[in-house]
Structure 1
Amino acid sequence: MKYIRNYFHIREISKLTRIEWLLYCCLFTVALLLRIYDLDARAMHHDESLHAYYSWELYQGSGLTHNPMLHGPLQMQLTSLIFFLFGDTDVTARILYVAAGTILVILPIFFRDLLGKHGAIMVSILLSISPSMVYFSRFARNDILMAVFTFGMVITMWKYLVSGNKKNLYLMSALLALSFSTKENAYLLVGTLGLYLTLSSIHESWPRKNYRDQFPNLSYPRLVFGYALMTFKTLRNSVYTHPHSRAFTVLIVLISLTLPQWSAFTGIFQETILLRWSNIILVSGEGASNIGMPTHGGKLLAFLVVFSLIVGSMYIGYKWHWKTWWKCAVIFYLIWLSAYTTFFTNIFNGVQSGIWQSLGYWIVQQGEARGGQPTHYYLTLIPIYEYLPAIFSVLASLYFLKHRTKFNLFLIYWTVITLFLYTIASEKMPWLLVNISLPLIVLSGKFLGDLFSKSSFKSKPNLNQCMIYFVPTISLIIAFSVTKYSSNLHPIPRVFAATIMLSLFLAGFVLVVRFIQRYETHILVKYLYAGFATILLLLTIRTTIYTNFVNSDIPIEMLVYTQTSPDLLQINNKIKTLYVKPATDNEPLIIIDQTNGFTWPWSWYLRNYTNVKYPKLQSESYEPHEQASIVVVHSSNHLAADKALSKNYKKVGKIPHRWWFPEHTYRDLNAINLVTKLTDTKHWNIFLEYWLFRKGVGKSIGSEDAYIYTSNTFPNIDFVGDSYRE
């Protein structure tokens, strides 16, 4: 029992005080309620229905073959287990992600020694109420799973760097395998941590000399060359140093275990002068039957690459510390193989798709730039949803750059490099905000914890402290009021008001930073921060509630992106009410036009009905069929359907099948019109109206529509979709 407690860091829990126990229990309860309440109220998103349906097929005994379009197979396997235990419903299809999001909230307990007692609590608070974390904990996508594994890897990495306990390497190996079995941004995670560990290893081995002082007359090009040479020698010395530094040890584990997973990365060279002449295809492009896989002569080259990297990884492990490495490798590959082969039921195809196609497919997709979002996409999302950790992360960076420790600098590095990588990646999606928000929350939570741990709020606040506490709230109210009033004035007063407020904000920020740097331990500074954090916390809670319980499937939220409309859920609920137990004799015929992917989410919703047809209808003609209970037709085909179905069916009307946020509202943003918007309170008011009340975008919601036809005996359905466009 003692061994298990030490192995899983349960001793960290034993250090908690009674107040901490109470706080974490409350946070756990709040997090769980926010994530599980009314979980089936939102219509199943297209991606959710795919994940749920293939999980259901596995649960039904049809097996599971890894498809890189759906990312790693782990989420489907775990969801199928949940279906086996609790049945298949919309709630159970999402319960895995609820559990992951709730677990994420309590992980800071195991990081308490580095975050600090107060810092760990602050991180847990921010994780529990984060709009994006809550939303994607209620969403059947694997991003929240990746957040858990990412945070777990960061924790175990630092546990090893501090203690040197090899058990942390074994835990990291397991988390690494789970990450690669979940989603391909595991490659970005390995790159992020690997770069940090490389820099840390170089720093630890770097000779403590100032070469600039030693060679004052050395030209800058020669100095740069000299430093580059020193860096190479330092890194080489790190390799041959025994025992290795802890940072270099973790780096070896990361590189050696994941080296074969990078095999498909060689596909980026197939269009270069190195391979173009040979016509070798290492990653097949769009239109191929097996996107991301090698073909013809490329198969042999791919095999040689994979084999070489496997041998190379084993050689690295052997030269490093074989007794430790083989244990890490067994843990990693046992989990990885179990996931990609669906517990060894699909060994050959599972291994080749996992080790090559999982990366190869997404190399191809980077060229497609799915979503086509602008570079500033996340810089638009963050101020709308994660403004609290974003603002305090900026302040934290300034504070921690002055109070430098390895851990504080790592948090800054992790935050900056993560935002940078996801910004330059060609595919930008709202669910990827989870990966950006996590380091923002940890950095800002650590900062707030450090700040409040150094002061006492036990004594009764005096008048000055109360005034300072309410300064941020009063300032925001004044700014909102001036913006609202001046937005209706002529352009010149609007520009004047905006310029004055911008100047005041900038001056206030500079003064606050200077004041904090000089009087950082002053109690008034703590009250100023506490007041600012309180108002932002309340606004964040409001944002979380509106995003997750009011507008959860309405694309007036940028976070919603492209979403199945609630009208489909209305139809599905009506079908389930009318036909509770479908039988082969009297089961209704349901026709779903599969044009442009309309099969989803119906395949999930109607999975238990056997008399469902998915024809691909035409706009010119409509093929007759037997009398159906309900017919769903893509809007491009409705004219032909009108003629064919007018006699025997009721035309219920047009509904949005899937709809999306009006992207023109932010796509055209650039440096020039940003300055224009910042210097006019009319644009300030437009942003505030959206930020606070989500006004101004409803009429511009885009959609792909369907026409609904029902039998004359089918009850009427009250559709609500178009009401949100008013």
Structure 2
Amino acid sequence: MTDEESIISPPYGRPPAFAPATTARGRWVDGKWVTDHSEIPAYGPELDGESGAGSPESSPGNERGWRRDLPYRWEFGAYASLFLVALVMRVWDLGGRAVHHDESLHGYFSWQLFNGSGYLHDPLMHGPFLFHITAGSFFLFGDNEVTLRLAQALFGTALILTPLLLRKRLGNVSALVIAGMLVFSPSLLYFSRFARNDIFVAVWTITLVAMVWRYLDNRRPRYVYLTAALVALGFATKETQFIVVALVAIPLLVMARSDVLGWLWGRRKISEWGPSGGMLVVIATLSLPMIGAASGLIQGALGLTLANNDSSTGLPLGTADGAGETVAIAITIFLLVVSILIGVLWNWRVWLTGFAIAAGIFVVLFSTIFTNWNGLASGVWQSLGYWVAQQGVARGNQPDFYYVMLTSVYEFLPAMIGLVGAVYYALKGDAFTRFLAYWPLATFVAYSAAGEKMPWLEVQVALPFIFLGGKALGDLVTTLNWRPTLAGGGWYVFAGVPIAVMVLWRLIFLNDTQPGLAGLDVPTGAVVLFGVLALLAAGLFWLTRRVGSRQAMALVGVSVAGLMAILTIRTGWVACYQDPDVPNELLVYTQTSPALASLAGEIAAVASLTGEGADLRVTIDGSSGFTWPWTWYLRDYSQVSYSDMGYSRPDGPSDSSVAVVHTRNENIAKSAFENDFTDGRRFPHRQWFPETYKNTSWKQFVDTLVRPTRWQNALNFFLYRDMSQSIGSEDAFVYFDRDIPFRALE
């Protein structure tokens, strides 16, 4: 067992009951419930590597300090309030945004599963979990835009409670701060209202991390079983699980290094490994059979097709072919046998139980509840094989600094605090806080190195930053000796920090092209502003003399975090509720326009007006992928035709009542529809953010960050979403049969 494994949290459980007349208070300390405040060590920043060691100012025995053992009712009330706020924020107007292209794919194939048409695993749309749970939502509540996104909204709400799983490690206050950050995180909020897999992955990821650390604390087998279930659910949800298990396994390997080296040298049996080594065995062996398709990276040298990367062959991307198929089967069997042998040597009873749980989940989901046995093969091999084939494609074509940009716009609060916390914990933290310091940085590197970079992957980048930043902010809050600090003049900091920010803002952008301060010329305005800053600095110096420099600076840090929290709430509100389907946000990627959703409503009105109902004839030009999201919106209509008019021109007048045609085929449509249809009405089909940053090099990006002269445009976007270019659009025309009595709709 390594030194890191000796640093464990107190046992989980509730304190012993006190006699009815007893009013003593206490908390867990070093494995026992302490009621005498004189016995309770200070609980501030983790300075000595043990959870709970720190400044005496934060001791619960000191009435002036902040209690880390929050009263149970207060804590329960806080979590309940955050949970309700999160639920309302995630379900409010959930169906109001136009259905995104990807959402329509997920919704349509889930609808087919719900209707009994089955489901075939396709790694293009990731794992089968989303389709099963969405089909279940349709079964329970009907199929519509709300139920399409309902599972994501509920998982996004449940995510708020996940800090409770690590509460003993994080501390009560830090866990509560993290929960608050999860509620209002703009990226988590947006994709909790979006029919994709990413919020499911976030829940699996943090729960997996919690189970790992709980097992390190007490080695209870149930945490192995839950870990096995979470590994399987992750692979059945999205292929980013390969990154997740690697990022979790690396620190386990570091902590278990003496065990691993001892085994390699023949000095220690696997069954003698400590908890970190045991958990490494569980995660590695359950994941090992899934990585065989990585051999596709060297298929050229082998002269085999192990992960097909040429769609023109007609073979599904990521699959093996010919002799490569035989080799793929052999590789998978070999990896499975190795996993079983290692697991049995470690702890055969516990490992086989965990393996059975993981295999059961995998088989049920990938076989679509025993109706598609080919899904097992595609799940084991093609899940990774498809993305091996796509790595060179680099879908999204985003720059290396993409997640730096997204994080600075949406997750600046946890990122800025977290980076400071990472330095502190790396130097003075224990094993857990060092993991928190490692986790977001490693995640950022991994996703930046991946070929595909998309805004929804910001969920995976933001999540560990929130846990690191929330832990750091919570520890900062608990170091403050609140009552004497506020009584000593600390209240003035809450007013002084916003004033200082506004003064610095004016100084940075004070120049001859802008009006001076209150009508003053630029030099005089600068003198006034520097004078205000001097007064604020004097006030801060006065406060440090009264309460101490650590207390004063900690209060400044909390105040700055409060300002960023307010700005974070505003950012999330604008992104999710103001214009959620207009791509003036970096989070909005090639979004279906609101005009298309409105047109879908018009088509429904025409179906009712003509009496044709579900038999209404509709023609959709499938050029440029315009089939989606119409396949979702028109799923209940039986007489819909989809064809690319650029390749299959209409032979004569259409017998449809409604036709939607890509603008590139306008002339074809005019010749086919001019006599029997109304004039075409142009509308935006899909729109996208003007990605002018793609032409920016790393040097130019860094230059924008460090040169005040280049901050103005960046800040205008950051605060007001002012863009130098208009959003991009790909349009279509809609034509209606002239015989439709539209006057009846007026």
TM range (shorter): 0.7 to 0.9
Report how far residue 290 of structure 1 moved.
1.2
Deviations 1:425-453 (A, max 9, x none): 11100000000000000000011111112
Select which of 270, 290, 296 maps to 2:299.
270
Find the aligned partners of 1:31 and 1:536 in 2 and give their Cα distance: 19
The residue correspondences of 1:82-101 to structure 2 (distance < 5 A) are 82-101=137-156
Report how far residue 584 of structure 1 moved.
6.0
Structure 2 residue aligned with 1:29: 84
Report how far residue 601 of structure 1 moved.
0.5
The answer to whether the 8 A contact 2:476-2:558 is kept is no
What do you get for the CA RMSD once the two structures are aligned?
A: 3.1
Select which of 559, 571, 581 maps to 2:587.
559
Whether 1:51 and 2:106 are equivalent positions in the alignment is yes
For structure 2, the 5+ residue unaligned runs are 1-11, 18-26, 28-70, 516-520
Distance change in 2, residues 1:633/1:11 (3 Å) = farther
The answer to whether the 8 A contact 1:483-1:684 is kept is no
The residue correspondences of 1:124-203 to structure 2 (distance < 5 A) are 124-202=179-257
Select which of 290, 307, 311 maps to 1:261.
290
The answer to whether the 8 A contact 1:282-1:302 is kept is no
Find the aligned partners of 1:587 and 1:463 in 2 and give their Cα distance: 76
Match for 1:265: what amino acid?
A
Deviations 1:17-45 (A, max 9, x none): 00011100110011111111001111000
Find the aligned partners of 1:710 and 1:238 in 2 and give their Cα distance: 80
Find the aligned partners of 2:267 and 2:75 in 1 and give their Cα distance: 41
Whether 1:644 and 2:669 are equivalent positions in the alignment is no
Whether 1:707 and 2:733 are equivalent positions in the alignment is yes
Indicate the percent of aligned positions where both proteins have the same amino acid. 35
Whether 1:313 and 2:334 are equivalent positions in the alignment is no
For structure 1, the 5+ residue unaligned runs are 1-8, 206-230, 719-726
Structure 2 residue aligned with 1:243: 272
The answer to whether the 8 A contact 1:629-1:714 is kept is no
Structure 1 residue aligned with 2:63: none
Deviations 1:303-339 (A, max 9, x none): 1111111111111112111111100000000001101
Distance change in 2, residues 1:374/1:198 (3 Å) = same
The answer to whether the 8 A contact 1:555-1:563 is kept is yes
Distance change in 2, residues 1:673/1:449 (3 Å) = closer
Find the aligned partners of 1:600 and 1:280 in 2 and give their Cα distance: 32
Structure 1 residue aligned with 2:600: 572
Distance change in 2, residues 1:520/1:448 (3 Å) = farther
Find the aligned partners of 1:96 and 1:144 in 2 and give their Cα distance: 10
Q: Normalising by structure 1, report the TM-score.
A: 0.85
Find the aligned partners of 1:264 and 1:31 in 2 and give their Cα distance: 40
Whether 1:294 and 2:320 are equivalent positions in the alignment is yes
More off after superposition, 573-582 vs 261-270 = 573-582
Structure 1 residue aligned with 2:638: 610
Report how far residue 626 of structure 1 moved.
3.5
Distance change in 2, residues 1:235/1:32 (3 Å) = farther
Find the aligned partners of 1:177 and 1:429 in 2 and give their Cα distance: 24
Report how far residue 625 of structure 1 moved.
4.2
Structure 2 residue aligned with 1:696: 723
Report how far residue 242 of structure 1 moved.
4.4
Find the aligned partners of 2:610 and 2:466 in 1 and give their Cα distance: 48
Find the aligned partners of 2:614 and 2:167 in 1 and give their Cα distance: 61
Structure 1 residue aligned with 2:4: none
Report how far residue 645 of structure 1 moved.
1.7
Find the aligned partners of 2:742 and 2:417 in 1 and give their Cα distance: 53
Find the aligned partners of 1:106 and 1:619 in 2 and give their Cα distance: 53
Whether 1:655 and 2:680 are equivalent positions in the alignment is no
Match for 2:720: what amino acid?
F
Report how far residue 620 of structure 1 moved.
9.5
Whether 1:428 and 2:457 are equivalent positions in the alignment is no
The answer to whether the 8 A contact 1:469-1:530 is kept is no
Find the aligned partners of 2:614 and 2:476 in 1 and give their Cα distance: 68
Find the aligned partners of 1:479 and 1:573 in 2 and give their Cα distance: 50
Match for 2:556: what amino acid?
L
Report how far residue 353 of structure 1 moved.
0.3
The answer to whether the 8 A contact 1:114-1:407 is kept is yes
The answer to whether the 8 A contact 2:263-2:270 is kept is no
Find the aligned partners of 1:602 and 1:484 in 2 and give their Cα distance: 48
Select which of 447, 470, 473 maps to 1:445.
470
Select which of 401, 415, 420 maps to 1:376.
401
Report how far residue 122 of structure 1 moved.
0.5
Structure 1 residue aligned with 2:54: none
Match for 1:286: what amino acid?
S
Distance change in 2, residues 1:480/1:238 (3 Å) = farther
Report how far residue 657 of structure 1 moved.
1.0
The answer to whether the 8 A contact 1:471-1:531 is kept is no
Distance change in 2, residues 1:674/1:53 (3 Å) = same
Distance change in 2, residues 1:36/1:458 (3 Å) = farther
Structure 2 residue aligned with 1:69: 124
Whether 1:675 and 2:730 are equivalent positions in the alignment is no
The answer to whether the 8 A contact 2:271-2:346 is kept is no
Partner SS for 2:683: strand
Report how far residue 292 of structure 1 moved.
0.7
Structure 1 residue aligned with 2:387: 362
The answer to whether the 8 A contact 1:143-1:434 is kept is yes
Structure 1 residue aligned with 2:6: none
Distance change in 2, residues 1:25/1:593 (3 Å) = same
Report how far residue 67 of structure 1 moved.
0.6
Match for 1:373: what amino acid?
Q
Distance change in 2, residues 1:239/1:569 (3 Å) = farther
Find the aligned partners of 1:238 and 1:658 in 2 and give their Cα distance: 63
Find the aligned partners of 1:353 and 1:283 in 2 and give their Cα distance: 13
Structure 1 residue aligned with 2:554: 526
Structure 2 residue aligned with 1:599: 627
Report how far residue 580 of structure 1 moved.
5.0
Structure 2 residue aligned with 1:109: 164
Find the aligned partners of 2:597 and 2:722 in 1 and give their Cα distance: 25
Structure 2 residue aligned with 1:210: none
Find the aligned partners of 2:116 and 2:503 in 1 and give their Cα distance: 62
Whether 1:538 and 2:538 are equivalent positions in the alignment is no
Distance change in 2, residues 1:625/1:386 (3 Å) = same
Deviations 1:568-601 (A, max 9, x none): 1111122234435997688321111011110101
Structure 2 residue aligned with 1:589: 617
Report how far residue 10 of structure 1 moved.
9.0
Report how far residue 630 of structure 1 moved.
1.9
Structure 1 residue aligned with 2:281: 252
Find the aligned partners of 1:250 and 1:489 in 2 and give their Cα distance: 61
The answer to whether the 8 A contact 1:465-1:527 is kept is yes
The answer to whether the 8 A contact 1:337-1:351 is kept is yes
Find the aligned partners of 1:393 and 1:171 in 2 and give their Cα distance: 29
Structure 2 residue aligned with 1:228: none
More off after superposition, 359-368 vs 233-242 = 233-242
Partner SS for 2:291: helix
Whether 1:408 and 2:436 are equivalent positions in the alignment is no
Whether 1:330 and 2:359 are equivalent positions in the alignment is no
Match for 2:347: what amino acid?
H
Find the aligned partners of 1:450 and 1:237 in 2 and give their Cα distance: 43
Deviations 1:137-185 (A, max 9, x none): 0000000000000000000000001111111111111111100000001
Partner SS for 2:160: helix
Report how far residue 618 of structure 1 moved.
2.0
